[in-house]
Amino acid sequence: MGEEPTIMAMHSSNKTPRDLGYRMPAEWEPHEAVWLAWPHDPVTFVKRIPQVEETYLQIIQALHGNEDVHLSVTDGRMRARVAESLGNGNVDLRRIHFHIYDHVDVWFRDYGPVFVIRPEESKLAMVHWVFNAWGGKYDALIKDTRIPALIHRELKIPCFTPGMALEGGSIDVNGRGTLLTTEQCLLNPNRNPGFTRGKIERRLMDYLGVRHIVWLKQGIEGDDTDGHIDDIARFVNPATVVCAYEEDEEDKNFPILHENYERLLAARDQDGNKLSVIKLPMPGVLQAEEVRLPASYANFYIGNRTVLVPAFGHANDAQVLDILQALFPDRKVMGIRCEDLVHGLGAIHCITQQQPAVI
């Protein structure tokens, strides 16, 4: 790849995205594209790479007709093989944009950029947070923190650098000024030691254009990210949140999710209004070698015309699809089987990152 890219701020001044009128749009707002990284790491997906590749094919087949796909591959050989596979799967390769980035793993939501827009001037920019592999848990994966710099070099859009560790899966926004996150993740000393809650909130406001933070407590069992929000609660419109909820009081997730649900019932949005909170069932216990996997239906991706929901072969799969279809009447809600993908400790939302359209 030659020399390592450098990150350039938009201005030599200290103005933040918020100062300049940028904001992070809600996921249901129009997309130009979705970003993904093709799976290849045998450590993440032990003996499951072919099955996970099939999951990727299904995701791209479902999305590419309504938004372009930017796809990271490690080298030219992988690019040729993946292009052949997609073509055989009736994917229109004109909608696929390959990038040779030599990524280590697939969790693009967490190490990729967060895109922000300035609607009044139809401008797109990106925020490059620090990725420290979820608090330094996986040294080999920290290399992926360079991916936003590579994207910046190609897209040539303004890039802002807050100097703070943050993963995209740890935040969710309603596009009107409210952000959801968890104390377990953002206040964890393994992310930004020495940062107070107030300092973290100020960075979120300055770089994502939000003005109100709703803090939930913690995430589900088996989640190695220290409580990412995209496994427990998601905005589905500016005033409505779906909240993962476990009905079995004997399940370890019951007290965790019950407290989060109660916090959401008491929460307000950016204008002081109560949120509508809808329970989203859980898919039961999935395990790998006696280790619980972080399986959750909340890890869905909202595309331009399609909502892709992780399915696990559980009786609650159909119920969840019905709940979400009622909430997204203008989109097709589809289940994608994710038993193999979740062995890597993530699902559909974790591997995707939307690039908003600027109109």
Mean of all residue pLDDT scores within the chain: 95
Instruction: Please check whether residue 233 lies inside any domain of the structure.
Output: yes
HEC assignment per residue over 179-243: EEEEHHHHCCCCCCCCCCHHHHHHHHHHHHCCCEEEEECCCCCCCCCCCCHHHCEEEEECCEEEE
| Segment (H or E) for 73 | strand 68-73
Instruction: Please check whether residue 25 lies inside any domain of the structure.
Output: no
Taking alpha carbons only, the member of 303, 345, 356 closest to residue 114 is: 356
Total domains in the chain come to 1
pLDDT at 10: 42
User: Does the pLDDT value for residue 4 go beyond 70?
Assistant: no
Average pLDDT over residues 329-347: 98
Instruction: Please check whether residue 9 lies inside any domain of the structure.
Output: no
User: Does the pLDDT value for residue 6 go beyond 60?
Assistant: no
pLDDT at 5: 38
The residues, ordered by sequence, that sit 6+ positions from 69 with a Cβ below 8 Å of its Cβ are 33, 34, 35, 36, 60, 63, 95, 96, 97
pLDDT band at 13 (very low <50, low <70, confident <90, very high): low
Domain residues for the domain of 287 are: 31-356
* CATH at 260: 3.75.10.10
pLDDT band at 290 (very low <50, low <70, confident <90, very high): confident
Segment 97-124, tens digit of pLDDT: 999 999 999 999 999 999 999 988 899 9
pLDDT at 359: 81
Confidence (pTM): 0.96
Which tokens in the block code for residue 64? Answer: 């590419």
Phi, psi dihedral angles at 96 (to 5 degrees): -105, 125
Instruction: Please check whether residue 337 lies inside any domain of the structure.
Output: yes
3-state DSSP helix/strand/coil % of the chain, to nearest 5: 30, 25, 45
Helix (H, G, I), strand (E, B), or coil: what is residue 338?
coil
Percent of the chain with pLDDT over 70: 96
pLDDT band at 263 (very low <50, low <70, confident <90, very high): very high
Taking alpha carbons only, the member of 179, 204, 201, 200 closest to residue 191 is: 200
Instruction: Please check whether residue 12 lies inside any domain of the structure.
Output: no
pLDDT at 40: 98
Catalytic residue check, 350: yes
Annotated active-site residue in 159, 185, 338, 350? 350
Segment 188-204, tens digit of pLDDT: 999 999 999 999 999 99
Instruction: Please check whether residue 24 lies inside any domain of the structure.
Output: no
User: Does the pLDDT value for residue 240 go beyond 70?
Assistant: yes
pLDDT at 2: 39
Taking the C-alpha atoms of residue 232 and residue 290, their distance in angstroms, rounded to an integer, is 22
Taking the C-alpha atoms of residue 172 and residue 159, their distance in angstroms, rounded to an integer, is 20
The amino acid occupying position 341 is: L
**Cα 146 to Cα 3, 7, 112, 153, 347, distances in angstroms:** 12, 10, 9, 11, 22
- Residue written as token pair 């848990």: 137
Instruction: Please check whether residue 19 lies inside any domain of the structure.
Output: no
User: Does the pLDDT value for residue 12 go beyond 80?
Assistant: no
Instruction: Please check whether residue 120 lies inside any domain of the structure.
Output: yes
pLDDT at 154: 96
